Structure 1
Amino acid sequence: MPQRPNRSAAVRRLDAARAGDPGHAARIAGMPALTVALVALAFALVWFGTLGVRHLLGPDEGRYAEIAREMLSTGDWVTIRYNALKYFEKPPFHMWVTALSYALFGVGEWQARLCVALAGMAGLGMSMLAAARWFGARAGLLTGLVLASAPMWNVAAHFNTLDMTLSGVMACVLACMLVAQHPGTTPAARRNWMLACWAAMGVAVLTKGLIGLALPGLVLVSYTCVTRDLALWRRLHVPAGIVVMLLVAVPWYWLVARRNPEFLRFFFIHEHWQRYTSTVHARKGALWYFVPLVIGGFLPWLGLVPGMVRAVRQRAGVADASSSRPFQPALMAALWAASIFVFFSLSGSKLPGYILPVFPALGMLAGAALVQTGERAWRRQLRAMLVVGAIGLLASPYVATLDSNNTPNALYRAYAVWAALAFALVMLSAVAGLWLQRRHGPMASITAYAFGMLLAFSTALLGHETIGRSASGIDMVAPIARVLEPGMPLYGVGMLDHTLPFYLHHPLTMVARADELTFGTEQEPQKWLPTVDAFIDAWLHGPRAVALLSPQTFAELSARVPMHVVARDWRRVAVANFPIAGAR
């Protein structure tokens, strides 16, 4: 009976033969480089290819799109203006990038969202780099798959808000610091990585103010208290780093304060101290406000939480076990997520986007945990998501029963179809993951599952256009543009419309209610009409003009003054103070 060949020896010979094959040599974390490139291309196409499919929503998307448009139009990149009024609630970095996007590619929806998409991708890429440095190349790839398919991260990267830009920059802060602290990093490289970290903090300060410095500082203090590793502070290059951060952040603050003396008090007292310590901004939330957001935002990977905890407890990635206090990257990532979560949970002002900076840290921990996850545990995760998808699919008809003052039931009925399709894709992704695990192993399974989740949540987001189109007012743009001439007043009577000014390329003049432009109207009172009587006088005796009103306000005022309807939808009416040719 012939002897069976020694399998181990055969495998070694096969590996040696493959090692001599140039095609086999091009591998990343054990995967063919071509496969990795194709997967990255597929993710990038979905990530960037969907930016312009939806119309902009208010308030954030329209607001920041219009601020950047006015910045580019006026050429003033220092004094931020919204509807031609001073607007000092936020620093300019996000608007700078958006205005640059307009300058390069024209004014449009995908150009307005390009900043957040790039920030999300930059945060993802830097998180992959840090995870690969500490936990291995495979963990780096897995970190990217986790973060790209985490609903909160990929959805936020397609909404034009400052929260995503800040979170992408903060992910770079964390990643640069982690790479700098690796024991294999040379002193020169450590210095350069830490200076990059400090520069990123400067950009964060230019994006949302002192929070860009406060959050990393809080995390470092928390880490020091837990580990008692004071030596870490000597490796942060603090003096040089502070200089770099100030060089990045201070010039704009100095210029804007010099041109606008009222800036400092409003920005630092009202927009920082009062926002955090009080409910002056009417953004209340319970102590557990962010709990469902983190759970839902990390839903496809919740089964990894036990493994993520083990990675922290077992000091994953620690290379120098002989040191009494080695740097612990998993603990740093965990404290980053926990400290930021607690910080915003205690705040008197809460919005969903505030919690976004925790997700890159969770992604890195999940990447480290996935490397150690067994096949049985991974199957449990896939089966759990199969159940979640099935429950969501069965519950999706409930969406068709919703109705509200802001969104008619007919729009919810249209969106219910998209919700069902999204949950069907969740189920299909889990099934594909189970099938691929049996035939091609865990990496193929995880990759397909992650891509399927990205498709599922992208589908849910794209389907929101059934609601968002009418909310944006885009169908009113053409008829208004036919009568609205350059320089003609466009009044917002008792309402601040956040999207039409962007689409019309024409700022609003506020009437009676300043809304969030109160500070601007106080600084430049000549640029608004504080009462309805002042509006009526301007409407009757002033130049030709167009006004936007709510249906209720239109019903009240049209009985007092002549108003010629230009266009209307279920939430706003556009009128002119002059007859319109061809109107009935």
Structure 2
Amino acid sequence: MHAPCSPVTARWLPWGVALVAAVVFFTNLGGPLLFDEDEPKNAVCGREMLERGDWVVPTFNAQLRVDKPILIYWVMLVSYSLFGVNEFAARLGSSLAGVGSVVMTYHLGRLLLDRWAGALGATLLASGLMFAALSRASTPDALLICCTTAAFLAFVSGISRLRGGSFSGDGSALLRLSETPLPRVSWIAMYAAMGMAVLAKGPVGVVLPLFVIGLWASLVDIDPSSRTPVGLWRGVLHGLGRRLAPARLLRILLSLRVLPGALIVLTIALPWYVAVGLRTDGAWLAGFLGGHNVGRFMQPMENHRGPVIYYLVAIMVGFFPGSVFLPASITSSVLRVRGADPQRPSLGFLLCWIGGYVGFFTLAATKLPNYVTPCYPAVALVTGCWLVRACRLELPPLRRLRVGFSAFGIAGLAVGVGLIVLASTLLKADPWIGLPAVSAMFASTAALVMLYRNNRPRAMACFATGCVLFTTATVSFSAYRASPYQEGPRLAERIAAFEAGAPEPTRVALCGYFTPNLVFYLGRPVEQIGADAIADYLAGPSPGVVLVPGDVFEQIEPNLPEGATVVAEEKRFLRRNGRVVMLSKSPAIVAAAQSEAVIR
């Protein structure tokens, strides 16, 4: 990291970061069972569309699903057709998108900063806990991040072409976006990626990338050397007047080719939105655009709310282990942007990327940690840039490096202890679930030893290797050990055992309780009924079971119909005293349950 890359190293670096990402995202990908709630909902939706041969209308449990657009389901349809309906196939698209995002992050770093910053930033991105989890989950987040990163890469590539191959230029006078349009291939690719992002997760796929680019073009991409009036307020007003002058903003819009770009986005995304609107008489559009976009922004849904600092905390946790150096990295980048640093345009763009997403979703009433993950590539590159400068002795942050490496070991140990406590108290599992702590402790110690020997590049290599090992162990091994304790797959296994050899499937209903995992592992829809309908349901013409949570069962037990028997119980996942009770009146099911109890 001390010297520029040799041609051989430069050629192999992108393959190296792709390999690192593949190790993190594909190790034991199909091993852990799907985790409630979102994973099985999306996986079941893809399966039901496959069974119907329908590529337009998404449904879950035989009901219209308005939560997400179509792209994740199209990816699953292809994956299911190739590999069957299983955990690996459900997650494959997200993992491929995750690898793509990591490789594109490297190329963004190469254009914005340098190859080493891109490689280290890409490695930190791949090992970030939240990003790794989403790249191994059957959710649309990884696809959104991939499309958004592709849009930003197209934009950065276009600006770099205008400036001689580097986003920050070569030290000569820079061509500004307000002075010259983007190259045609760049803006076409940028808007095409935004169109795919709209199919992945809706309007945020185009609104936020354009907001970030506009923020950078208007506030940062301006000559900082021009003189400003003396005095704080006169200087601020003069600066805002220059940056937000209507004529300048109009030139920026024209350079971005917004109108033809909008046509590209609509050409890609609109046909499906029109088709699903027609097929559902507008119900999907009303539910998604009205409820899950405007509604989530205006008021907290499902009690997902948080304070102003919510996303600052979410990024510190979600970007761990790399986040141990994030505060120092952000502070250094802000100071460099405020000065006359040669990399001011690049760092300013990354800070606008981060600030745009964090600021927008801080204003939204509904808050979830995955909302800001599209800015994680920028977070990773800012951190990678700071660490590379530390390796090159451009900074004297020896104490900060010691603190960061120590924090990694301490926090990793805390995660391991927490997992062990979780395993012993809530899961009754073995303590090996805390294995990731070992890699964090070893890597932290090795990095500190190398730092003591004044070998910063090797210290950084130990840290990066430890990040990859820690996250890989967490998302592949610990998740694998914990997932079987979810009650949904266990209940589905019980029901499958009861109906073995039966002429028809067992009817299944849930009362006061729902777990999407049950629908996936049962392989068919289930019903939801009220407590007053339990008697009629159990008295139906074919064998049936009703699942109720323990607290509801205690309330309705005195009024249960004669012959209703508890045929199974399962402990609820991550709840100390929660349980699910399975009721039935079917003689065959009751006999099977009694036989199973005797065998046990």
Residues 45-54 or 379-388, more deviating:
379-388
Equivalent-residue separation in structure 1 for 2:562 and 2:333 (angstroms): 66
Q: Is structure 2 residue 286 aligned with structure 1 residue 293?
A: no
Equivalent-residue separation in structure 2 for 1:154 and 1:381 (angstroms): 26
Identity of paired residues, percent? 27
Q: Deviations over 1:425-450 (max 9, x none)?
A: 22322333345568896555434422
Match of 1:253 among 243, 266, 273: 273
The residue that corresponds to 1:348 in the other structure is: 365
Q: Is structure 2 residue 487 aligned with structure 1 residue 477?
A: no
Equivalent-residue separation in structure 2 for 1:393 and 1:365 (angstroms): 22
Residues 496-505 or 459-468, more deviating:
459-468
In the TM superposition, residue 86 of structure 1 has moved relative to its aligned partner by: 0.9
Q: What's the secondary structure of 1:490's corresponding residue?
A: strand
Equivalent-residue separation in structure 2 for 1:454 and 1:263 (angstroms): 40
CA spacing shift, 1:562–1:316, aligned 2, 3 Å: farther
The residue that corresponds to 2:334 in the other structure is: 309
In the TM superposition, residue 291 of structure 1 has moved relative to its aligned partner by: 1.7
The residue that corresponds to 1:193 in the other structure is: 186
Alignment of 1:154-553 (within 5 A): 154-182=132-160, 183-184=162-163, 190-227=183-220, 228=243, 230=249, 231-261=251-281, 262-298=283-319, 299-302=323-326, 303-313=328-338, 328-373=345-390, 374-375=392-393, 377=396, 379-392=398-411, 395=414, 399=418, 409-411=425-427, 414=430, 418-419=433-434, 421-435=435-449, 442-461=456-475, 462-484=477-499, 488-512=506-530, 532-553=531-552
2:354 alignment partner AA = A
Match of 2:119 among 137, 141, 150: 141
CA spacing shift, 1:275–1:39, aligned 2, 3 Å: closer
In the TM superposition, residue 173 of structure 1 has moved relative to its aligned partner by: 1.9
Contact 2:446 2:459 in 1 (8 A): yes
Q: What's the secondary structure of 1:349's corresponding residue?
A: coil
Q: What's the secondary structure of 2:528's corresponding residue?
A: strand
Contact 2:450 2:458 in 1 (8 A): yes
Contact 1:317 1:330 in 2 (8 A): no
2:514 alignment partner AA = L
2:468 alignment partner AA = L
Equivalent-residue separation in structure 2 for 1:301 and 1:379 (angstroms): 12
The residue that corresponds to 1:107 in the other structure is: 85
CA spacing shift, 1:437–1:205, aligned 2, 3 Å: same
The residue that corresponds to 1:18 in the other structure is: none
Equivalent-residue separation in structure 1 for 2:26 and 2:137 (angstroms): 12
2:437 alignment partner AA = F
In the TM superposition, residue 38 of structure 1 has moved relative to its aligned partner by: 5.8
In the TM superposition, residue 52 of structure 1 has moved relative to its aligned partner by: 2.0
Residues 56-65 or 233-242, more deviating:
233-242
CA spacing shift, 1:387–1:242, aligned 2, 3 Å: same
- For structure 1, the 5+ residue unaligned runs are 1-14, 16-23, 319-326, 513-531
1:132 alignment partner AA = R
CA spacing shift, 1:390–1:42, aligned 2, 3 Å: closer
The residue that corresponds to 1:529 in the other structure is: none
In the TM superposition, residue 84 of structure 1 has moved relative to its aligned partner by: 0.2
Equivalent-residue separation in structure 1 for 2:69 and 2:551 (angstroms): 36
In the TM superposition, residue 74 of structure 1 has moved relative to its aligned partner by: 1.7
CA RMSD, Structure 1 to Structure 2 (Å) = 3.3
In the TM superposition, residue 412 of structure 1 has moved relative to its aligned partner by: 7.0
Contact 2:127 2:468 in 1 (8 A): yes
Equivalent-residue separation in structure 2 for 1:25 and 1:135 (angstroms): 16
Alignment of 1:75-114 (within 5 A): 75-114=53-92
Q: Deviations over 1:363-416 (max 9, x none)?
A: 22233333322447565454224422453466568638968xxx982527746x
In the TM superposition, residue 352 of structure 1 has moved relative to its aligned partner by: 1.4
In the TM superposition, residue 258 of structure 1 has moved relative to its aligned partner by: 0.6
Q: What's the secondary structure of 2:510's corresponding residue?
A: strand
Contact 2:308 2:362 in 1 (8 A): yes
Contact 1:55 1:472 in 2 (8 A): no
Contact 1:135 1:316 in 2 (8 A): no
Contact 2:71 2:140 in 1 (8 A): no
CA spacing shift, 1:401–1:36, aligned 2, 3 Å: closer
In the TM superposition, residue 137 of structure 1 has moved relative to its aligned partner by: 2.3
Contact 1:61 1:160 in 2 (8 A): yes
CA spacing shift, 1:151–1:199, aligned 2, 3 Å: same
Equivalent-residue separation in structure 2 for 1:546 and 1:99 (angstroms): 31
Contact 1:312 1:331 in 2 (8 A): yes
Equivalent-residue separation in structure 1 for 2:534 and 2:218 (angstroms): 60
The residue that corresponds to 1:28 in the other structure is: 9
2:524 alignment partner AA = H
The residue that corresponds to 1:573 in the other structure is: 581
Equivalent-residue separation in structure 1 for 2:347 and 2:357 (angstroms): 16
Equivalent-residue separation in structure 2 for 1:438 and 1:395 (angstroms): 24
CA spacing shift, 1:158–1:544, aligned 2, 3 Å: same
The residue that corresponds to 1:50 in the other structure is: 28
CA spacing shift, 1:442–1:480, aligned 2, 3 Å: same
Contact 1:330 1:365 in 2 (8 A): yes
Contact 1:166 1:207 in 2 (8 A): yes
2:270 alignment partner AA = V
Contact 1:63 1:498 in 2 (8 A): yes
Equivalent-residue separation in structure 2 for 1:483 and 1:424 (angstroms): 43
Contact 1:492 1:547 in 2 (8 A): yes
Equivalent-residue separation in structure 2 for 1:387 and 1:179 (angstroms): 37
The residue that corresponds to 2:98 in the other structure is: 120
In the TM superposition, residue 289 of structure 1 has moved relative to its aligned partner by: 1.3
Q: How many residues are paired up?
A: 527
Q: Deviations over 1:61-81 (max 9, x none)?
A: 121111111121221221111
2:306 alignment partner AA = G
Contact 1:489 1:545 in 2 (8 A): yes
Equivalent-residue separation in structure 2 for 1:164 and 1:192 (angstroms): 25
2:522 alignment partner AA = L
In the TM superposition, residue 184 of structure 1 has moved relative to its aligned partner by: 4.5
In the TM superposition, residue 290 of structure 1 has moved relative to its aligned partner by: 1.4
Equivalent-residue separation in structure 2 for 1:390 and 1:25 (angstroms): 33
Q: Is structure 2 residue 558 aligned with structure 1 residue 560?
A: no
Q: Deviations over 1:39-62 (max 9, x none)?
A: 653542232113223221111112
Q: Deviations over 1:123-162 (max 9, x none)?
A: 2211211221232222222221221222332233223333
CA spacing shift, 1:265–1:39, aligned 2, 3 Å: closer
Equivalent-residue separation in structure 1 for 2:187 and 2:155 (angstroms): 6
In the TM superposition, residue 249 of structure 1 has moved relative to its aligned partner by: 0.6
In the TM superposition, residue 198 of structure 1 has moved relative to its aligned partner by: 0.8
2:491 alignment partner AA = M
1:463 alignment partner AA = S
2:478 alignment partner AA = G
Give the TM-score taking structure 2 as reference length.
0.79
